[in-house]
Structure 1
Amino acid sequence: MSMRTLLLTALAMLAFAGNSLLCRLALRETEIDAASFTSLRLLAGALTLWLLLRLRSANTPSVGSWPAAAALFVYAAAFSFAYINLDAGAGALILFGAVQLSMLAWGLYRGERLNLKGTIGLLVAFAGLLILLLPGASKPPTAAALLMLVAGIAWGIYSLLGRGVNDPLAATAGNFMRTVPLTLLLSALLIGQVRWDSAGVFYALLSGALTSGVGYAIWYSALRGLQAFQAACVQLSVPIIAALAGSLLLDEALSLRLLLSATAVLGGIALVLSAKHRRV
């Protein structure tokens, strides 16, 4: 893996973790509803990416695709609504478990294979995530768990669709712009449940503009240098990064279990990223 891909991947994971923190803050500590958060997030992302395209070149068209936009919208909406009734640990486990399974299944289907070193790394990373999440996770409500499962599969599909794009910024901008009619329809259908406050709106706009819009464009750039196994495994770091950031920024407890989990997950990812892969 090149240093450029490694740097882009690290930045994308930080953006994803920041997005989780902003969503958690908004839906747990402000008055904004899930539909409004989703709509503002996607609209802010679309506007920010459009402006970045214009600054880069006035003649650069947005590209993207409707399948990718649909996957992005389903992920964002299901993620927001699931977190109304899910605790953070169970939600992260379901989301990223679904992401890994969908992307790894695609990699296997396309003939990618891990060697022994990569397989051990993947198992160590999964074990580290389980150490952090399972012991403290209560049984989640069925409907919310299913929504988060859908969100994870949708994000896996979105990531896979982005692996072959030639212009990550233009593709991400096009995808976000295509979600606008979908998000307006969502808001119209749930107009009677709309509520928000200034803090909730701020978190939604920041999530859309920075950690979603810019973050996803960085992720699409990183995906060009990652195999499906690598792209799937590296995202296991997001719950760990989010938990560590929550400890530093939100005064959440930093336990020995968290430190051990972080060591296992990041060590496992390092093994997967350094392992040789083969196709059959």
Structure 2
Amino acid sequence: MKLFGLVVVIMVAFAANSVLNRAGVGGGQISPVAFGVIRLLAGAVTLAVLCGVLRGGLRFGGAGRLAGVAGLLIYIFGFSFAYVGLESGLGALILFGMVQVTMFAGSVMGGERPAPLRWIGAAVAFCGLAWLVWPQDGVSAGLLPSMFMLAAGFGWGVYSLAGKLSSDALQATAANFVLATPIAVVVLLGNGLGPMTFEGVALAIVSGAVTSGLGYALWYAVLPRLDGSVAAVAQLTVPVIAMAGGMLFLTEPLTMDFVIASALVLGGVALSVLGPRFFGGPR
């Protein structure tokens, strides 16, 4: 139950990142590159301080470091650029669909054999997302923003798989953020600051220090205790949580489509995660 509660907190943090990013970049408060760099910098500072206090210093070594840094950079910038042109719902479908594909593929390539019920549960959850976010009058997303979001999903999948190799979640997350930040600054210098308001900067700082830095440290802490397929399916709840947050904070209406899709997504996750345990199949 404690593990379940931690996963819930982490998924809410991930959903908050979507809301913060859409409010900043999608609202024209800050450029995608600036948002990504400030997000990384705020996370790096927060995590480095925590490592100094709790671990006596920061260590940059460890298994999966190169993959973690690369995956983090691809995710951060792909995510920011995608939400300039994508509708939030379709962007979430592309992102977490790609995450699921990446993590399932990585787990299988690493020797894991997900139980049949986990595949069925993942399919049910994905159908729920499709029901929720698929445009009624045809696909409206542009090709370039969609490619950015696919890249972000791949990056996040790689980052999550790399986290399973970590023996110290806080140190690994801090090292990833600190090492990725100088590379991100170079990208910023090459692209320029672009538009930037106080609100946009504040949103990026919160996203980096709280919902990214601390959220990802928790994610790395629980990942070694989760099968890669379970972690992939759990993340399919994030778009639903993000849309619920939009209803609460942006006064978006509650629709029957949302209710049906939420039941499918959460039911699919429950079947995938709990089904093998209750029905006695392989876990």
Short-chain TM bin: over 0.9
| Residues 67, 158 of structure 2: 8 Å contact kept | no
| Residues 58, 175 of structure 2: 8 Å contact kept | no
Q: Which position in structure 2 is the counterpart of 1:176?
A: 177
Q: Distance in 2 between the 1:33 and 1:135 partners? A: 26
Q: Which position in structure 1 is the counterpart of 2:42?
A: 44
Q: Which position in structure 1 is the counterpart of 2:26?
A: 28
Of 62-71 and 139-148, more deviation after overlay is shown by: 62-71
Tell me which stretches of 4 or more aligned residues in structure 1 moved more than 6 Å.
none
SS in 2 for 1:194: coil
| Residues 118, 230 of structure 2: 8 Å contact kept | no
1:50 aligned partner, one-letter code:
A
Matches within 5 A, 1:220-235: 220-235=220-235
Matches within 5 A, 1:34-183: 34-59=32-57, 61-63=59-61, 65-136=65-136, 138-183=139-184
| Residues 58, 174 of structure 2: 8 Å contact kept | no
Q: Distance in 1 between the 2:262 and 2:190 partners? A: 41
Q: Distance in 2 between the 1:30 and 1:130 partners? A: 28
Q: Which position in structure 1 is the counterpart of 2:3?
A: 5
| Residues 230, 273 of structure 1: 8 Å contact kept | yes
Shift of 1:172: 0.0
Q: CA RMSD in A?
A: 1.7
Q: Which position in structure 2 is the counterpart of 1:247?
A: 247
Of 270-279 and 24-33, more deviation after overlay is shown by: 270-279
2:10 aligned partner, one-letter code:
A
Cα separation, partners in 2 of 1:71 and 1:257, compared to 1, 3 Å: same
Q: Distance in 2 between the 1:40 and 1:12 partners? A: 21
Shift of 1:63: 4.2
1:249 aligned partner, one-letter code:
F
Q: Distance in 2 between the 1:118 and 1:161 partners? A: 21
Q: Distance in 2 between the 1:74 and 1:234 partners? A: 21
TM-score normalised according to structure 1 size: 0.93
Q: Does structure 1 residue 213 correspond to structure 2 residue 213?
A: yes
Shift of 1:60: 5.4
Q: Which position in structure 2 is the counterpart of 1:199?
A: 199
Q: Distance in 2 between the 1:59 and 1:32 partners? A: 33
Q: Does structure 1 residue 17 correspond to structure 2 residue 15?
A: yes
Shift of 1:121: 1.5
Cα separation, partners in 2 of 1:117 and 1:31, compared to 1, 3 Å: closer
2:205 aligned partner, one-letter code:
L
1:211 aligned partner, one-letter code:
T
SS in 2 for 1:112: coil
1:150 aligned partner, one-letter code:
A
Deviation string 1:76-108 (CA, Å, 9 cap, x unpaired) is 011101111111122111111111111111222
TM-score normalised according to structure 2 size: 0.93
Deviation string 1:5-40 (CA, Å, 9 cap, x unpaired) is 222211110110011100011012242111100110
1:230 aligned partner, one-letter code:
V
Deviation string 1:222-280 (CA, Å, 9 cap, x unpaired) is 1011111101100000000000111011101111110111111011101111133749x
SS in 2 for 1:149: helix
2:103 aligned partner, one-letter code:
M
Of 104-113 and 195-204, more deviation after overlay is shown by: 104-113
